[in-house]
Chains A and B, each alone.
Chain A
Amino acid sequence: ELKVEQNPLFLSMQEGKNYTIYCNYSTTSDRLYWYRQDPGKSLESLFVLLSNGAVKQEGRLMASLDTKARLSTLHITAAVHDLSATYFCAVRSSGGSYIPTFGRGTSLIVHP
């Protein structure tokens, strides 16, 4: 059974600081997703990572994938208040179903 662990689960940071959210998974995967969810809202797709060494950047967010270590990171650069949200990684195991398994999410609060 595929297990996906995110850490930290809660993150409080000041504007302007950098931080990294980690996503570890337990079996081989052929794609990994990062989503953002605002309170009471649905999920917004941020990144889809398909191969080892993949790196994608959008604004102050950068995601990377290391399939050998079964690890993805979401790096936040110079955080701003608008980034406050919950971030989920979801992993689709290679072989078998196309259904992603989600982590528990990282709740990020950025303080002025």
Chain B
Amino acid sequence: ETGVTQSPTHLIKTRGQQVTLRCSSQSGHNTVSWYQQALGQGPQFIFQYYREEENGRGNFPPRFSGLQFPNYSSELNVNALELDDSALYLCASTLQGSSYEQYFGPGTRLTVT
């Protein structure tokens, strides 16, 4: 167990809708990253938050946005869902002072129909 939780576990949405995914890290994990993992692929970096500010972003459009809260929880929001957004979404937190090892949550499986 990594101490990182995500909700919901599974989600089905319709194209054009909006979705919010949630992640909760351990106390002290002040950096959280979000990844999208399509079937048969490696995780693709979406963005990273450090102390509630976005400090890195991958090649994803602005309809992917996030928030990080003081209680070490975070959200990934996706607007105007497309079929290609169907994937496993993983959050990973990093403990300050560690070797930047990331602790991954169990993921949210999003299906867009």
Rounded to whole angstroms, the CA-CA distance of A33 and B99 in the bound complex is 11
Whether A12 is near chain B, meaning CB under 8 Å from some CB there, is no
What range describes how many residues of B lie at the interface? 20 to 34
Distance between B54 CB and nearest chain A CB, rounded to angstroms? 12
Looking at chain A's contact residues, the main secondary structure is strand
Question: Which A residue's beta carbon lies closest to that of B4?
Answer: A42
Whether B66 is near chain A, meaning CB under 8 Å from some CB there, is no
Chain A residues with CB under 8 Å of chain B are 4, 31, 33, 35, 40-45, 48, 50, 88, 90, 92, 97-105
Among all A-B residue pairs, the 10 with the closest Cβ atoms = A102-B42, A43-B104, A42-B104, A42-B106, A97-B56, A102-B43, A42-B107, A104-B42, A99-B45, A105-B42
Chain B residues with CB under 8 Å of chain A are 2, 33, 40-45, 48, 56, 58, 90, 92, 99-107, 109
